[in-house]
Amino acid sequence: MATVLQLQPLTAADFKGKVDPDWCPGCGDFGVLSSLQKVLAEMNILPHNVVTISGIGCSSNLPGFIDTYGMHTLHGRALAVATGVKMANHKLNVVVTGGDGDGFGIGGNHFIHTIRRNVDLLYVAMDNQIYGLTTGQTSPTSRKGMKTKSMPYGNVEEPINPITLALAAGATFVARGFSAEPKHLANLIKQGLEHKGFSFIDVFSPCVTYNHDNTYAWFRERIKKLEDDVSYDSSDWHEAMKRGLLWGDEIPIGKFFQRTDLPSLHEAEPLLDQGEPLAHRELRIAPEIVRNFITELM
Amino acid sequence: MATVLQLQPLTAADFKGKVDPDWCPGCGDFGVLSSLQKVLAEMNILPHNVVTISGIGCSSNLPGFIDTYGMHTLHGRALAVATGVKMANHKLNVVVTGGDGDGFGIGGNHFIHTIRRNVDLLYVAMDNQIYGLTTGQTSPTSRKGMKTKSMPYGNVEEPINPITLALAAGATFVARGFSAEPKHLANLIKQGLEHKGFSFIDVFSPCVTYNHDNTYAWFRERIKKLEDDVSYDSSDWHEAMKRGLLWGDEIPIGKFFQRTDLPSLHEAEPLLDQGEPLAHRELRIAPEIVRNFITELM
Amino acid sequence: MDRTFAVAIGGAAGQGVATPGDIFAKIFARRGLHLNAYNAYQSIIRGGHTFLTIRAGIEEVTCFGDHIDLLIPLNQDSMDRHIGLMKANAAVVYNSDTIKPGSLTQAQLCPLPVNQLSKGSRSKVEQNTLALAASLRMMGVDFEPLAEILTEQFMRKGSKVVTENLDIARVGYDYAGANFQPFAFPLPMSGMQYAVLSGNTALAMGGAAAGVKFYCAYPMSPSTGVLHWMAAHARSAGILVRQVEDEIGVINMAIGAAHAGVRAMCATSGGGFALMTEGLGMSAMMETPVVVIDVQRAGPSTGVPTKTEQGDLWQMLGAGFGDFPRLIAAPTDILDCFRLVPEMHNLADRFQCPGIILGDLLLSEGRSSVDPKQLNFDTEIDRGEMIVSADPANGENGYKRYKITESGISPRAIPGVPGHTHTAATDEHDEDGVLISDEFTNPAKRRAMMDKRQRKVLGIEAAVQPPVLIGTPTAEVTLVGWGSTSGVIREAVAMLNEEGISANQLQIRWMVPLHGEAIVNILKSSKYTIMVENNYSGQFARYLRSETSYVPDGCIRKYDGEPFMPHHIVEAVKEQLACKTHKTQQLSVPVHEIMV
Amino acid sequence: MDRTFAVAIGGAAGQGVATPGDIFAKIFARRGLHLNAYNAYQSIIRGGHTFLTIRAGIEEVTCFGDHIDLLIPLNQDSMDRHIGLMKANAAVVYNSDTIKPGSLTQAQLCPLPVNQLSKGSRSKVEQNTLALAASLRMMGVDFEPLAEILTEQFMRKGSKVVTENLDIARVGYDYAGANFQPFAFPLPMSGMQYAVLSGNTALAMGGAAAGVKFYCAYPMSPSTGVLHWMAAHARSAGILVRQVEDEIGVINMAIGAAHAGVRAMCATSGGGFALMTEGLGMSAMMETPVVVIDVQRAGPSTGVPTKTEQGDLWQMLGAGFGDFPRLIAAPTDILDCFRLVPEMHNLADRFQCPGIILGDLLLSEGRSSVDPKQLNFDTEIDRGEMIVSADPANGENGYKRYKITESGISPRAIPGVPGHTHTAATDEHDEDGVLISDEFTNPAKRRAMMDKRQRKVLGIEAAVQPPVLIGTPTAEVTLVGWGSTSGVIREAVAMLNEEGISANQLQIRWMVPLHGEAIVNILKSSKYTIMVENNYSGQFARYLRSETSYVPDGCIRKYDGEPFMPHHIVEAVKEQLACKTHKTQQLSVPVHEIMV
Ligand SMILES: Cc1ncc(C[n+]2csc(CCOP(=O)(O)OP(=O)(O)O)c2C)c(N)n1
Ligand SMILES: Cc1ncc(C[n+]2csc(CCOP(=O)(O)OP(=O)(O)O)c2C)c(N)n1
Ligand code: SF4
Ligand code: SF4
Ligand SMILES: [Mg+2]
Ligand SMILES: [Mg+2]
């Protein structure tokens, strides 16, 4: 993703939004927000060159808490909106944030198709394995057996695995973070922003209010950084699939996969490949071209 | 999937619909229809115990051409409707048929979620890599570079891979057929009908009118049956992923993967696990239970 | 309206407004008092301002009223927002360690020195228990009912916790006895015992009573309560409950289940309904009945998710494009939420078309008392012309799913019945279900099928009773409302009559069929009609006009997210009657003085 | 109406009705004749019955008319269906090897012994070329124009193919000269040269003229033609065209692009629009303009995908729930499809709200001649109050995206502009874009924002001209139509006037804003008004009534999938005028005598 050079060094404070987050104290989403703000400052991307786009959910409230251009769209639709934004102005840095319900439930189709188009944006899913804003129902990533208000007798469905699903859909950058590992997460966000193409980071972001199964402690006991395994090769898709399937005593976080040989959508589109962003182009069509359009009809 | 015993041996003719198919002569969908009719007869499943459900598209016209109960629903929604049918009457044999646009384009989200629920039905996608009924636009399985009415300069998007996508979503039966290999296809359909859980068969079903790239000849040159490789183990998910990725000089058809250790949705639901189908249960709730409902409120 | 008593509890989300509220409601209902409760809250999990009002009385309480008799602010913010509105004879019970009564008030201030009384432990809960007990004492309620409820509530935490809670409650109870003035009128009681339930619970229970066997949903405020009741009671009620990936999946799954023969239902709010509209057309075209509950909230778009509005009517009227018979009704109170569901299922089954229940947050998340005898689970169930098993009379070749009949209704065979196989299609089809574009597109067949479906409208109209005027026909002013505003209009009418302005009420429950002629006949003989709606544009007024040309003399609208209070209506009516001579369609937009 | 000449070609899908049709149209238009074409086809790829009518004349041809002068049946089925309706002076040109003229007719039978004439090779194409050439000879058209077009068409296949085709054409031309009677009136000509285009092409070109830079779609008949034109001309027009996974993605992507500053557009039909309605509300709430084209087809549900209807109006009126300003207009002819698009974009940009163009299959897949000068690409472009670069006057702290203004319009900064960062939300928000439920849900702020948005309605009304009456104001009958029926009503009015029944026409193009008062002022002075609609329930009549209480004296409706023909309207008008005394709202449902 293209970065725009700053005039003077930025700090995370330059990305402070108009209001403070109203998330529950302890909510995992705080860690994601601050990591994002930190990395944007570090990378010296100016706030007005970033568009943060979300759907609806606790996590999707994020654009209101960061000073960039923001779009707080419809439940599940952020990726479609973001694709439109990127196509209209491919010079902008587009960041999509949202929840597991938003992204893998109602938004699942856009997830797959945005991935295969390799739209150049960073998608950070704050995955708390629950529907937070609607006060605690089963989400597509809720584990089997988990009891919620909507499945009080326990979930009987296999959860979605966002990592392997993204890989199968053809994602060019796939990672997983943990909101209580801010440095690690910031590093992933940085890599994701730098990646030219669709970057997906699934972040374990515990809901302290409604998910009493997948707590900070629960994750802390299990997570293991892929980076700690020096032999791990993130260009090996099949290996990424193997690690992506792990879920139990050991749950990997880190960068599962990256490939850089595929063009992103705006690079593949000859119309955008060079020249100004669409949003700044001349609206009128040249008279000789118009003449051709009409001659065709005669 | 439960089969119902016949009173007298059935033939494919018992499944002949009210009208003849109006597909273009040579359309791949003919082969799918006749294989399905043949297998249903062979398995002695009575027409009235089958529900054939489709979305909208050339391929989705199939329910009108077969004598079973049929539902010709909305574009992309057949799997959701079919889940409802199966839940309401899990004794019925549910077969879903449709196109690549229907199933992996507009219907992509239902595809993933129906798979993870392991709903006990057979889903046959007639994959012609094109939008047939709307007269020839790019589909999610159209190959990169392919020229259509909607992408006359060539497709710039990576296609969906239905096989690997289904595997990643957790499908318990994943296969690929070719409509010009009727015996092979019939065998897959039979296995799919017998499988207890979600069975997915992606069938290459050439569109002779709008897809001049992926023709019968094109496929014939490339397809290779997995069954011909005696070493192939369809219980190995990672191996299935490897074969699923093959696309070029060699394109595998056959059963990629099957697992039988997971319960299907109606088996996992205690309410359905025993007793009559919901559709035939008593509507009234027992007075003592009603009393409890009301006492709770007092 | 008889004397009522209203308690209000205000605080931040997460401060525990709900529990003391539940206890008050239980005590009132067990005492044989009717009640009505409304909780003004925000779309956040913690913080903000939540304000719960519970109003009780011997007679039916139809809305949360205009006045608060007892205020329990749980934080300073709540004190500051509401103290100025408290009248004489009212009281404010609060934790004097953390909250100061900012401005002057005529109400009795009842400071509780919580730390001192509770010895400083677990003060959030104790503050609430102390305030609860003190309040009950001031209302003249015995200690026993409170002790009983606290015991029930803490039982599973062990007897030690029960004793602790009873002790602290007793301290508060006695402290109030010694330090605060009791209310002039002690809380009355009756020989009755009422159930207390929300509109969402009533809708869900109505589904259970209707014989719904398949319920599916995607969570969406303020409809999620229906899913929660269904999920919690699924196993005992024998209802299969499924959470689906989105609302499109929901309606399609519900239609699939309905098609296979069960009664199926789902609930959502405006945004989810928008995603369902394509499916609604499928129900109409396949003639497969399905019942959809839409719980309205303030729009457009995501809008104000925790606030009420009657703004989805036009979405319902146009949902699904093309012309087809549909049913739309708006329940008028919480008991009606329960009653309407089986009624809607019966009609949807009989006429094989989609049925929409248009609720709103006010009813769905409000609560009221209901005589348990009214929660009748033996209500009529009419599944219409449905073929569930083979009948030699309907021979294999004779059956035509979409047979053209006088009534427009064609007997519906469910999958599994021998000799009745057919395909139901969303494409236009002939009597036998064959697509007319697969055969020959045929204008005559197309027209015949449209006519057949539309003939059902006559039967539907005959099956539903027209609305009736409530009150003296000769009144000076007629207030017209629809759905959930029934209760607040009823109270406003009573207040107007008390003030010597004779008023009556016409409340519309059925939108489709509307019975426009019957409505206009009533309104034509009214002296002055005012339409009361909880939306910006007068959606019902515009719809009534589209069917009847009728224009009311005035209208009162509210679109700020909060429901009407009776005085909003009373004042606006008086204002409009005062300048009646203009006879143009005046608009009154009541302002909320309570900033929730 | 002046003398016109109508050619019809009938056959199965796949038999090649389109190519000879295109050639006729080109010859007519190059000859300076106006034309109007309608193709009645089915939702199948092969088989069935396709019937293309092309009607040409010196004056503007506003519909495909009532009569066929020359019929070319490509198969027996087409012969059988249409022969009985041919009048004297008409002719039927057909392949006598395969087709027999079944019943008796007054028309001239012109059998072509195709095998003999073509020496048996590639007979499908040759049959068509022979018929084409023979027909042109009978119409009195020179051979050269045909030769020219055949040459253009087959050029890229090499000169051998060209020569072959010219040869066979010449054979047909000469054979007709020798064997058939020419038509009594040879085809006229003028000095003009016209472009021929479909409504879909016109809509797409209108987008290009409006400066649309982002177009996305999911294919759906009968709107797919817009996508096809856009895709084919994307690179030269500098328009980014994307095919999306579904219609939900389409509208959301379009809004994203529009939000980032381009003009964005998409097109669909009723079912796809149903999926877009949630997104429409987002456009309204974020105040991000977007233009959506809905090409109506016969519903409900999948309905009759290749047949026309005006049945989506109420879906549009209610789409998106809650109250918000929107724009809805229905183009009245194919040229108007082109003109309306820039107009709609200007208004959507100025008022920062969604704009809907309500087309239908009749226009979208119909074709007509247009004077190329009318296809003006220098039309006005008004992007409204949009901030595309930093201006020291709009300081970093001063900018408020949703500033409350008198006009209701708040200047819109696009992402990338320094000093104007803000978040656009679908939740209700304050002037600065901050969610009011994240702060404190605040009825006063909510009302202020609703009022701000709704104030735009006044500006919108002022920006659009009210409709005007066409014809003598004192006419005996006024026909009221909307959108695509303009042309056929115009012809019916002319026919009525010719028959001595004085008639005039009021055609409505803008649904929202409606200018109800202006409409009623016109209709009030009309002697007898009849509303003509291509739907079952009179959707426009009901809507007009909802805004004005106006009820017409009668109505003519058609809902069999086929469009009106002039005589349908003329006969129904006469019938209704004959029993005018009743003055109830009479319904006429014209029947199609041609079974396409
Ligand atoms: C179409 C639609 N359906 C339902 C909702 C209600 N809704 C709001 S947020 C949400 C789910 C939130 O879960 P998730 O996306 O995981 O975010 P979290 O709150 O857990 O961060 C739902 C169902 C909606 N806003 N729109
Ligand atoms: C909501 C909606 N959008 C679009 C359409 C139009 N449509 C009908 S079939 C079809 C695609 C057909 O392609 P596919 O599913 O691959 O089936 P095929 O015809 O190739 O067998 C489309 C886009 C529709 N019917 N409904
Ligand atoms: S409910 Fe859960 S996800 Fe939402 S803010 Fe609270 S902790 Fe975070
Ligand atoms: S268009 Fe293609 S998919 Fe459709 S019937 Fe013809 S060959 Fe088959
Ligand atoms: Mg979540
Ligand atoms: Mg296809």
B35-46 per-position pLDDT tens digit: 999 999 999 999
pLDDT band at D271 (very low <50, low <70, confident <90, very high): very high
Task: Look at strands A223-225 and A251-258 and give their pairing.
Answer: parallel
**How far does the centroid of ligand 5 lie from the alpha carbon of residue A101, in Å?**
5
pLDDT tens digits for A173-208?
999 999 999 999 999 999 999 999 999 999 999 999
Structure tokens at D316: 């549009």
pLDDT at C122: 58
Residue D573 included in any domain: yes
Residue B290 included in any domain: no
Asked if C589 is an interface residue toward chain D (Cβ–Cβ < 8 A), one would say yes
Structure tokens at D488: 């056929």
Tell me the residue length of chain D: 596
Number of domains observed in the structure of chain B? 1
User: Left if phi > 0, otherwise alpha if psi is -120 to 50, otherwise beta: which for D105?
Assistant: beta
Low-confidence winner among A95-99, B283-287, D88-92, D397-401 (lowest mean pLDDT): D397-401
Q: Kindly tell me if the per-residue pLDDT of D374 is higher than 90.
A: yes
Best mutation site among B87, B94, B115, B292 for testing chain C: the one with the most C CBs within 10 Å?
A: B87
Cβ distance of D249 and A69 shorter than 8 Å: no
Q: Which residues of D touch A93 (CB under 8 A)?
A: none
pLDDT at C575: 93
pLDDT at B6: 47
Q: Which residue in A88, A281, A298 is closest to D29 by CB distance?
A: A298
Q: Kindly tell me if the per-residue pLDDT of C196 is higher than 80.
A: yes
pLDDT at C595: 66
Q: Does one domain contain both C74 and C214?
A: no
Residue A286 included in any domain: no
**How far does the centroid of ligand 4 lie from the alpha carbon of residue B74, in Å?**
19
Q: Read off the pLDDT of each residue in D469-484 and give the average, rounded to a whole number.
A: 97
Task: With beta carbons less than 8 A apart as the criterion, state whether C560 and D443 touch.
Answer: yes
Residue C111 included in any domain: yes
Q: Does one domain contain both C408 and C324?
A: no
Dihedral angle of Cα B104, B109, B115, B119, to the nearest 10 degrees: -110
Cβ distance of C422 and B91 shorter than 8 Å: no
pLDDT at C123: 57
Q: Kindly tell me if the per-residue pLDDT of D496 is higher than 50.
A: yes
Residue C76 included in any domain: yes
Residue B291 included in any domain: no
pLDDT at D120: 63
Q: Does one domain contain both C16 and C152?
A: yes
Q: Kindly tell me if the per-residue pLDDT of A6 is higher than 50.
A: no
Q: Does one domain contain both D283 and D395?
A: no
Within D218-312, residue ranges assigned H as helices are: 224-237, 247-259, 270-286
Q: Does one domain contain both C291 and C366?
A: yes
**How far does the centroid of ligand 4 lie from the alpha carbon of residue B65, in Å?**
15
**How far does the centroid of ligand 2 lie from the alpha carbon of residue D305, in Å?**
11
Task: Look at strands D4-13 and D47-57 and give their pairing.
Answer: antiparallel
Residue D190 included in any domain: no
Residue A242 included in any domain: yes
CA dist., res. B48 & res. D551, Å (int): 51
Cβ distance of D255 and A84 shorter than 8 Å: yes
pLDDT at C34: 98
Residue B288 included in any domain: no
pLDDT at B2: 39
- The answer to whether the CB of D220 is under 6 A from ligand 2 is yes
| Amino acid letter, residue D439 | E
- CATH number, domain containing residue D488: 3.40.50.920
Q: Is C55 helix (H, G, I), strand (E, B) or coil?
A: strand
Q: Does one domain contain both C20 and C145?
A: yes
Q: Does one domain contain both C501 and C433?
A: no
Looking at the CA of residue B58, tell me the nearest atom of ligand 4: 4
DSSP-assigned states of every residue in C247-307? HHHHHHHHHHHHHTTSEEEEEE-HHHHHHHHHHHHHHHHHT--EEEEEEE-B-STTBBTTS
CA dist., res. B92 & res. B120, Å (int): 10
Percent of chain C topping pLDDT 70: 96
Q: Does one domain contain both C409 and C346?
A: no
Interacting residues of A252 by C-beta distance below 8 A, sequence separation 6+: A176, A223, A224, A225, A226, A243, A244, A246
CA dist., res. D95 & res. D116, Å (int): 11
3-state helix, strand, coil in chain D (%, to 5): 40, 20, 40
**How many other CB atoms are there within 10 angstroms of residue D168's CB atom?**
25
Inter-CA distances, D82 with C406, D72, D546, D594, Å: 33, 10, 43, 7
Residue B292 included in any domain: no
- CATH number, domain containing residue D302: 3.40.50.970
Q: Does one domain contain both C410 and C280?
A: no
pLDDT tens digits for B208-254?
999 999 999 999 999 999 999 999 999 999 999 999 999 999 999 99
Ligand 3 pocket test: pick from C42, C43, C44, C45 the residue with the most ligand atoms within 8 Å of its Cβ: C45
Looking at the CA of residue A22, tell me the nearest atom of ligand 3: 5
Cβ distance of D322 and C300 shorter than 8 Å: yes
Comparing D19 with D198, which gets the higher pLDDT? D198
Give residues (CB < 6 A) around ligand 1.
A 56-59, 75, 99-102, 126, 128, 130-134, 139; C 218-220, 247, 271-272, 275, 302
Looking at the CA of residue A126, tell me the nearest atom of ligand 1: 21
Cβ distance of C305 and D271 shorter than 8 Å: no
pLDDT at C591: 85
Place of tokens 């996608």: B125
Place of tokens 């515009």: C542
Task: With beta carbons less than 8 A apart as the criterion, state whether A81 and D279 touch.
Answer: no
- The beta-carbon contacts of D17-24 under 8 Å, at least 24 apart in sequence, are D17/D50, D17/D51, D17/D52, D17/D74, D18/D52, D19/D128, D20/D72, D20/D128, D20/D129, D20/D131, D20/D132, D21/D52, D21/D54, D23/D132, D23/D146, D23/D149, D23/D150, D23/D153, D24/D54, D24/D132, D24/D135
Residue D469 included in any domain: no
What is the least distance, in Å, from the CA of B182 to any CA of chain D?
24
Q: Which residue of chain C has the CA closest to A149? A: C228
Beta bridge partners of B16: B66
Residue C189 included in any domain: no
Q: Is the ipTM of this complex over 0.90?
A: yes
Rounded to 5 degrees, what are φ and ψ at D48? 70, -155
**How far does the centroid of ligand 4 lie from the alpha carbon of residue B61, in Å?**
11
Number of domains observed in the structure of chain C? 4
Cβ distance of C246 and A106 shorter than 8 Å: yes
Domain that holds residue B28: 12-270
Q: Kindly tell me if the per-residue pLDDT of D595 is higher than 70.
A: no
Percent of chain D topping pLDDT 90: 88
Tell me the residue length of chain A: 298
Cβ distance of A109 and B113 shorter than 8 Å: no
Residue C190 included in any domain: no
Residue A279 included in any domain: no
CA dist., res. C348 & res. C326, Å (int): 8
CA dist., res. C196 & res. C372, Å (int): 9
Sheet holding B199-204, edge to edge: B223-225, B251-258, B173-178, B199-204, B122-127, B93-99, B50-54, B69-72, C423-425
Beta bridge partners of D480: D506, D531
CA dist., res. C4 & res. C25, Å (int): 14
Q: Does one domain contain both C264 and C154?
A: no
- CATH number, domain containing residue A209: 3.40.50.970
Q: What totals of helices (H) and strands (E) does chain A contain, helices first?
A: 11, 8
Residue D380 included in any domain: no
Task: With beta carbons less than 8 A apart as the criterion, state whether B237 and B169 touch.
Answer: no
pLDDT at C1: 46
pLDDT at C121: 64
| Mean pLDDT over the full length of chain C | 94
Interacting residues of D380 by C-beta distance below 8 A, sequence separation 6+: D342, D346
Q: Which residue in D45, D245, D302 is closest to B106 by CB distance?
A: D245
CA dist., res. D163 & res. D151, Å (int): 8
- CB contacts < 8 A, C to D, total 279
Percent of chain C topping pLDDT 90: 88
Q: What totals of helices (H) and strands (E) does chain B contain, helices first?
A: 11, 8
Residue A34 included in any domain: yes
Ligand 1 pocket test: pick from A58, A59, A75, A138 the residue with the most ligand atoms within 8 Å of its Cβ: A75
Looking at the CA of residue C44, tell me the nearest atom of ligand 3: 5
Closest ligand (CA of C321): 2
Domain that holds residue C524: 477-593
Q: Read off the pLDDT of each residue in C245-273 and give the average, rounded to a whole number.
A: 98
Inter-CA distances, A106 with A131, C275, C591, Å: 12, 11, 37
User: Left if phi > 0, otherwise alpha if psi is -120 to 50, otherwise beta: which for A151?
Assistant: beta
Q: Does one domain contain both D275 and D152?
A: no
Task: Look at strands D503-508 and D477-482 and give their pairing.
Answer: parallel
Angle between helices A182-194 and A29-42 (to 10 degrees): 50
Sheet holding C586-588, edge to edge: C469-470, C503-508, C477-482, C529-533, C554-557, C586-588
pLDDT tens digits for D51-82?
999 999 999 999 999 999 999 999 999 999 99
Beta bridge partners of C507: C481
Low-confidence winner among A74-78, A87-91, D16-20, D100-104 (lowest mean pLDDT): D100-104
pLDDT tens digits for C11-50?
998 888 888 999 999 999 999 999 999 999 887 778 888 9
Cβ distance of A134 and C224 shorter than 8 Å: yes
Considering C464, C498, C527, which residue would you say is the last residue of a domain?
Answer: C464
CA dist., res. C198 & res. C212, Å (int): 19
CA dist., res. D484 & res. D198, Å (int): 13
Taking only Cα atoms into account, the Rg of chain C, rounded to an integer number of angstroms, comes to: 26
Q: Which residue in D194, D214, D252 is closest to A278 by CB distance?
A: D214
Closest ligand (CA of C243): 1
Q: Read off the pLDDT of each residue in D141-170 and give the average, rounded to a whole number.
A: 94
Cβ distance of C275 and D278 shorter than 8 Å: yes
Ligand 4 pocket test: pick from B97, B210, B215 the residue with the most ligand atoms within 8 Å of its Cβ: B210
Q: Which residues of A touch C232 (CB under 8 A)?
A: 149, 152
pLDDT at D45: 78
Q: Kindly tell me if the per-residue pLDDT of C125 is higher than 80.
A: no
Rounded to 5 degrees, what are φ and ψ at C468? -125, 155
Per-residue 3-state assignment (H helix, E strand, C coil) for D196-207: EEEHHHHHHHHH
Q: Which residue of chain D has the CA closest to B108? A: D245
pLDDT band at C581 (very low <50, low <70, confident <90, very high): low
Task: Find out whether the peptide bond into D513 is cis, omega within 30 degrees of 0.
Answer: yes
Give residues (CB < 6 A) around ligand 4.
B 23-24, 27, 29, 58, 128, 132, 207-210; D 45
| Mean pLDDT over the full length of chain D | 94
Task: Look at strands C47-57 and C91-95 and give their pairing.
Answer: unpaired
Inter-CA distances, D505 with A125, C305, D487, D578, Å: 58, 47, 11, 19
Ligand 2 pocket test: pick from B22, B75, B127, B160 the residue with the most ligand atoms within 8 Å of its Cβ: B75
Q: Which residues of B touch C375 (CB under 8 A)?
A: 293-294
C window 245-304, beta carbon within 8 A of D: 248, 270-271, 273-275, 277-278, 281-282, 284-286, 296, 298-304
pLDDT at D15: 87
Q: Is C125 helix (H, G, I), strand (E, B) or coil?
A: helix
Q: Kindly tell me if the per-residue pLDDT of D527 is higher than 90.
A: yes
Q: Which residues of A touch C48 (CB under 8 A)?
A: 22
